[in-house]
Amino acid sequence: MKFKILLFFGCALSMLSMAEPCEFEFEYVGKAVETEGMHVWGSSPVIGPEGKVHLYVARWPTATRKDFNGWYRECEIAHYVGDKPEGPFEFVRVAVPDQDGKFNSPHNPSIKKIDGKYVLCFIVNENNDLKTQRIVMYVADDLNDDWKPAAGAEADGTMARKSTEPTDWNYTARLGVSNPSLIKHDGQYLLYVKSVVFPWPNSKKRKYMYGVMVSDSLEGPYKHHPKYVTPGTMPLEDANAFSLDGSVYMLSRDFGASKGSSGGGLLWKSKDGFHFDKKDVTRAYEDLAHYVGEESLHNATAYRGKRDGHMERAQVLAIDGEPAYLYMATGVNTTPDHGSCSHVFRMKTRGE
């Protein structure tokens, strides 16, 4: 079943929070990518030179295992293209295959065009071991998928691993470093990264937090900024950064249900990109059921999470420097024989 109804809700303000409304509004459009026999996860957009929208999508077969754990075992990054941001999107090719072994299961792609180059960041692991997660950075002059490792990376493109400096925020990371988001801000290149850490001495509780790596060159190398940028009291996942009007923003999943259910998301804001204060965080979006109605998902298959459809892997498409569309993944789908899928929303500044 294809969703045809457009519901305009804007940024939902949780009854659990008295924060200011989110600066952005969202209008649900519909599914972005779904593929028969495949789980589709994060879909990261970029506009090509011909004006078409290219999506780089994490996907893996539904048939290889009954659980959802193929994301770190058998994932690949596929390339889709559409004439418009709303789609429809058609499969082009596999851009980054699963190579197994030490370059295993490329996942969570994030693509940007910066300084005239296309930059594709993603995570890999070694032999299905999440403790070995690291970030790869590829660059290219076009979107023909002739990617090469960034100049400042290791030979295979590895740009970021968890820090080996005891004074750095993610020295205690238990699952390596993951979920990259790259921007250029105030002349520096900022690579935002997630780690699961024990942030304080004698802490027994893991914290899902973000830090930033910094470089004076697009292709690196990148160095860990020693302090984390998000507070440990507000767990988050899947942060996607963008720069607007001199500030740095991040859209993320509200992983700790800080301002509503964990199925929705948060908007973070910082002037310098190195500190996101919790007082400046607002609720951004809700779960899928909020936009399409619970009845529409009554017969949906829940591959991950609940049937209300947790919205994850937020990825922003900017047009002429302004955030214009948001792509997110969910673990539910109403189409038989299709796994998890991604969705697209129109995005604009509140009050426009």
Which whole number is the average pLDDT over 266-273?
A: 97
Distance CA 133, CA 104 (A): 9
* HSE-up (13 A, CA, CB side) for residue 207: 21
E strands within 172-228? Answer: 178-185, 188-197, 207-215, 223-224
Report CA Rg, the chain: 19
For residues 127 and 352, the model is more confident at 127
- In sequence order, the 6+-apart residues with CB closer than 8 A to the CB of 144 are none
Q: What are residue 241's DSSP bridge partners?
A: 250
CATH number of 24-349: 2.115.10.20
Q: How many degrees, rounded to 5, is the angle at CA 46 between CA 343 and CA 175?
A: 70
Structure tokens at 218: 């697009």
Average pLDDT over residues 181-193: 97
User: Can you give the pLDDT at residue 2?
Assistant: 39
DSSP class per residue in 288-352: HHHHH-GGGGTT-EESSS-TT---EEEEEEEETTEEEEEEEEESEESSTTB--EEEEEEEEETT-
Confidence (pLDDT) at 11: 47
pLDDT band at 1 (very low <50, low <70, confident <90, very high): very low
Break the chain down into helix, strand, coil percent, rounded to 5. 5, 50, 50
Residue 201: the pLDDT is 65
Torsions phi, psi for 288 (to 5 deg): -60, -40
Percent of the chain with pLDDT over 70: 93
47-102 pLDDT per residue, tens: 998 999 999 999 999 998 888 999 999 999 999 999 999 999 999 999 999 998 99
| Mean pLDDT in residue range 153-181 | 96
Domain ranges of the chain: 24-349
pLDDT digits 0-9 by tens, 137-154? 999 999 999 999 999 999
- Read off the pLDDT of residues 205-221 as tens digits, 9 standing for 90 and up: 889 999 999 999 999 99
Name residues whose C-beta falls within 8 Å of residue 29's C-beta, 6 or more positions apart in sequence: 6, 86, 343, 344, 345, 346
Neighbouring CB atoms inside 10 A of 277's CB total 12
What is the CB neighbour count within 10 angstroms for residue 201?
Answer: 6
Residue 17: which pLDDT band, with cuts at 50, 70 and 90? Answer: very low
User: How many of the other CB atoms lie within 10 Å of CB of 117?
Assistant: 14
SS3 letters across 99-154: CCCCCEEEEEEEEEEECCEEEEEEEEEECCEEEEEEEEEEEECCCCCCCEECCCCC
**pLDDT level of residue 200 (50, 70, 90 thresholds):** low
Q: Can you give the pLDDT at residue 204?
A: 74
**CB contact at 8 A, 170 and 230:** no
CB atoms near residue 336 (< 10 Å): 9
What is the per-residue burial (b if ≥16 Cβ within 10 Å, else e) of 302-324?
Answer: bbbbebbbbbbbbbbbbeeeebb
Q: Is the peptide bond before 221 cis (omega within 30 degrees of 0)?
A: yes
| DSSP designation for 20 | P
Query: What band does 199 get if pLDDT is binned at 50, 70 and 90?
Result: low
pLDDT at residue 210, rounded to an integer:
98
114 vs 6: CA distance, rounded Å:
33
pLDDT at 349: 87
Of 162, 174, 166, 169, whose CA–CA distance to 231 is shortest? 169
Find where tokens 């792509």 sit: 327
As a whole number, the mean pLDDT across the chain is 92
